Amino acid sequence: MDFIRGEIIAIDKPYRMSSFGALAHIRYLLSHHVGQKVKVGHAGTLDPLATGVLILCTGRCTKQIETLQNHTKEYTATLQLGATTDSYDMEHPVNKTFPWKHITREKVEETLKQFVGDIDQVPPTYSACKIEGKRAYKMRRDGEQVELKPKHIHIDSITLTSFDADKGQFAIDVVCGKGTYIRALARDIGRALDSGAYLTSLRRTRVGDITIDDCASFDHFEEWLEQNDKHNDGE
């Protein structure tokens, strides 16, 4: 593989690491491997608490980032009912609790249908969205008020994969288009169920035709590079 000229690779981003942090580490390993600095960009940010498919483009392939960002994505997510957090996930502590014992599996399945198709979604204020050039999450951390406008998004499908009535937790599989925030989807599902909800886990399992099975291990990326060299040498 010619990383200087340009390659598209995918890694499985670890939990509690930013997409930029993951990119910086892989860029360091690639640059050390080829003996010179490698240009690297990523096609679609994953939250620090999310794991899964993160596509990295090197060299001239960085020009394909915008196209790759438009590809359909698939996620698996677990939601906790009866509470909310400022970030709609576990990055922040619970800020409010709600009744949830009235929620049944059937009610969840019926409610999920209203989020399939073309919908408007207000992005999380703890996000990289910009307001007059400033990142929304930085404004929130500085104590500023943040109001974001709804964005048009498309969700192909939402499938309920498990429901735990005792814990008030359920899991979904989401296939969606560019710009969809699964955290915001959790917030809106909670409201639609006359309760609250936030993400307890999120994993991106597919971007376009690239799945988790196609990803290189982040923790064993050096070994992946060595195996790739052996393969190219015909061993």
Give percent of the chain above pLDDT 90: 85
C-alpha R_g of the chain = 19
Spatial CA neighbour of 185 closest among 102, 120, 99: 120
pLDDT recorded at residue 140: 87
pLDDT band at 232 (very low <50, low <70, confident <90, very high): low
pLDDT higher than 80, residue 229: no
Mean pLDDT value across residues 222-230? 86
Residue ranges matching CATH 3.30.2350.10 in the chain: 8-70+210-232, 73-207
195 touches 79 (CB < 8 A): no
| Full-model pTM | 0.92
pLDDT band at 231 (very low <50, low <70, confident <90, very high): low
Mean pLDDT value across residues 33-50? 94
Cα-based distances in Å from 134 to 10, 127, 142, 155: 29, 11, 11, 28
Measured distance CA(179)–CA(194) in Å, rounded: 25
Spatial CA neighbour of 11 closest among 227, 225, 229, 218: 218
Question: What CATH class is the domain 8-70+210-232?
Answer: alpha beta
pLDDT higher than 90, residue 129: no
Give percent of the chain above pLDDT 70: 97
Measured distance CA(235)–CA(227) in Å, rounded: 9
Known active-site residue 194? no
Q: How many CB atoms lie within 10 A of CB 149?
A: 9
- Token pair in block for residue 124: 């999380």
pLDDT higher than 50, residue 108: yes
Q: What is the pLDDT of residues 172-199, one digit of tens each?
A: 999 999 999 999 999 999 999 999 999 9
* Annotation: CATH topology of 73-207: Pseudouridine synthase (3.30.2350)
- Token pair in block for residue 216: 């290189």
Measured distance CA(94)–CA(127) in Å, rounded: 18
pLDDT higher than 60, residue 234: no
Active-site choice (47, 142, 214, 233): 47
Average pLDDT, the chain: 94
Measured distance CA(106)–CA(192) in Å, rounded: 14
Mean pLDDT value across residues 44-54? 95
